[in-house]
Amino acid sequence: MPMKLIGSNTSPYVRKVRIVMAEKKLDYEYVLEDVWSANTNIAVSSPLGKVPCLVMEGGDVIYDSRVIVEYLDTLSPVGKLIPAVGRERAEVKTWEALADGILDAAILARLEATWAGRLDGQRSQAWIDRQLAKVACALVAASKDLDDKPYCVGVHMSLADVALGVALGYLDFRFPQLPWREQYPNLVKLQDKLMLRASFHDTRPI
Ligand code: GSF
């Protein structure tokens, strides 16, 4: 029985896991789950009711996306994405925290504006602004840290680039009005380079 990834095509956290699966050439079954539907079965796999979840061989389940990608990287030496030890490892994981933080804030802003369980009078523009300010600050930091380097850390693609590319792709998908493409040409260059890879191209949200 191959590993089973429970996810959805619009979730950027799921996309991060799918890209890692593809880069590492791992076999898995992809099971679509709409966590927002009234009859979702996600609680069977995740008490938090969130995707992605990975059902490993043998049936045990792990989450969230950071735990899953860390596990996947240990399964094969192909396309190593996380340095084993030391400062480079911490750097890669900090990039991932930054990129996931962009997603966390952007998704909170989007849910505040669109979640059907909240009535119009209950939506807070101040909360949306607070979250989008985090996105803006994080993009400044990402652009500054990337500088004119070919990749976020070192000279090869790592999980740092995967996570950042996914976050930028999510902004393009859900927040096309944000001007990051005009503001940060170095981020655009990295994103364009990543999109040439089948792992990124085949998982783009549509
Ligand atoms: C975030 C997963 C998440 O929020 C991770 O896996 O890295 N830190 C976690 N997933 C969303 C889908 S999405 O917005 O990508 C989810 O499943 N939300 C359902 C809910 O009830 O919050």
Alpha-carbon span 170 to 192, nearest angstrom: 14
- Segment 127-153 shows an average pLDDT of 98
Residues 6+ apart with CB under 8 A from 83: 89, 92, 153, 158
Residue 120: the pLDDT is: 83
Asked, as a colleague might, if the bond just before 60 is cis with ω within 30 of 0, I would say no
pLDDT 10s digits, 2-48 = 899 999 999 999 999 999 999 999 999 999 999 999 999 999 999 99
Q: Can you tell me which atom of ligand 1 is nearest the CA of 52?
A: 6
CA of 51 relative to ligand 1 center, distance in Å = 5
Sorted by where each begins, the domain ranges of the chain are 3-72, 86-200
Whole-angstrom distance between the N-terminal and C-terminal Cα of the chain? 30
> Does 66 contact ligand 1 (Cβ within 6 A)?
yes
Q: Which CATH class is domain 86-200?
A: mainly alpha
Second-level CATH architecture of 3-72: 3-Layer(aba) Sandwich (3.40)
Residue 14: the pLDDT is: 98
Q: Can you tell me which atom of ligand 1 is nearest the CA of 16?
A: 7
Residue 31: the pLDDT is: 97
Q: Which residue has the tokens 């119009």?
A: 120
pLDDT 10s digits, 104-116 = 999 999 999 999 9
Residue of 6, 13, 61, 108 best suited for mutating to test ligand 1, as the one with most atoms within 8 Å of CB: 13
What is the side-by-side order of every strand in the sheet holding 53-55?
28-32, 3-7, 53-55, 61-62
pLDDT grade, residue 135 (50/70/90)?
very high
pLDDT grade, residue 206 (50/70/90)?
confident
According to DSSP H, which parts of the chain are helical?
Answer: 12-23, 42-45, 65-75, 86-114, 125-146, 159-174, 180-183, 185-195, 198-201
